[in-house]
Amino acid sequence: MRGLVKLTAGELKRLARYKILAASLATSILWIILFLFISKSEAAEIAPHLIIIDVTAMSVLLIGASHHLEKQEGTLKTIIVTPLSLGQILTAKTLSSIALSIQSVAVTCAALYFIHKITFNYILLLFFILIAGASHAAIAFLLSIRSRDFTTMLALYAGYMFVFTIPSFLFNFGIIQAKFEWLLMLSPTHSSSRLIISAVSGEYDYTLVTIGALYLILLTAALFRLVVYPIFKDNAARG
């Protein structure tokens, strides 16, 4: 446990040193500026989508960038030859990615409150961010270890977005009909989107939310256990 805490603290420290935290805050400031120029109803409409981007796309990009940078610097190898377990290493990276999402969402929520007096169920949102963030961390690791460098990883992620993210956005903007949502729930991004929109809007389809949450939890466990864990060490060793 002590090792996990130290490792996570180290990850967070590096997020600050490598200016990733600052970049994330800068993105949040863009959202704040946007909120200043739109109405309360427009802000309420757009807010969940910004949070979805923070929790899904930003997580994937952060983990991908950090994975390839650490491979380039050789630090993954040298962490692996410490007494830490691979589980601790992956958990610390996932936690730090989720922490960054929470920080970004917290700024967005604060801006929504102070500018438009918009509030939501923050506890539930936090819970859903944990689930969505963890599943997208698993996806990010999968894409990272399957790519040669960050550029190839971006290309893979673009493919992922084409299949899983764009249909979800088309659905959210009413272009894909509601009857297809069950099929769309197979998309980790759409399941995450369903959870986050529910927490922000306060309108729940309990069946879809429950299935979405369970699906993401099972998907996260399966991806880490069956795909990421067995090849992460070998991938790091080759870096």
Partner 1 sequence: MKPAFTVENLNFKYPTAKEDTIKGISFEVFEGEIFGLLGPSGAGKSTIQKILIKLLEGYRGTIKYFGRDLNSLDNSYYEEIGVGFEVPVHFSKLTALENMKFFSGFYKSRANIQELMERVGLWEYRDVKVAEFSKGMKVRLNFVRAMLNSPRVLFLDEVTNGLDPNNAKIIKDMIAEFRAKGGTVFLTTHLMNDVEQLCDRIAFCVNGRLVETSTPRDLKLKYGKREVKVEYRDNGNLKSALFPLDGIGFNEEFQTLLKFGKIETIHSGETSMEEIFIIVTGVELK
Applying CB under 8 A, which residues contact partner 1? 3, 6-7, 10, 13-14, 17-18, 73-75, 77-85, 233-234, 236-237
Select 57 or 227, whichever has its Cβ closest to partner 1: 227
Nearer to partner 1, 82 or 119 (CB): 82
Over the range 42-65, which residues count as b (16 or more CB within 10 Å of their CB) and which as e? ebbeebbbbbbbbbbbbbbbbbbb
- Three-state DSSP state, 185: coil
Query: Quick one: 79 or 124, whose CB is closer to partner 1?
Result: 79
- At closest approach, how far in Å is the CB of 79 from partner 1? 8
Nearer to partner 1, 82 or 210 (CB): 82
- The least distance separating partner 1 from the CB of residue 221, rounded to whole angstroms, comes to 22
Distance of closest approach, residue 23 Cβ to partner 1, in angstroms: 14
CB-nearer residue toward partner 1: 74 or 159: 74
Cβ 197 to partner 1 shortest distance, Å: 37
Work out how close the CB of 218 gets to partner 1 at its nearest, in angstroms, rounded to a whole number.
Answer: 27
CA–centroid distance for 135 within its chain: 7
First to last CA, the chain: 27
Q: How far is CA 61 from the centre of its chain?
A: 9
CB contact at 8 A, 59 and 98: yes
Contact 222, 228 (CB under 8 A): no
- Please check whether residue 21 is in contact with residue 103, taking contact to mean a CB–CB distance below 8 angstroms: yes
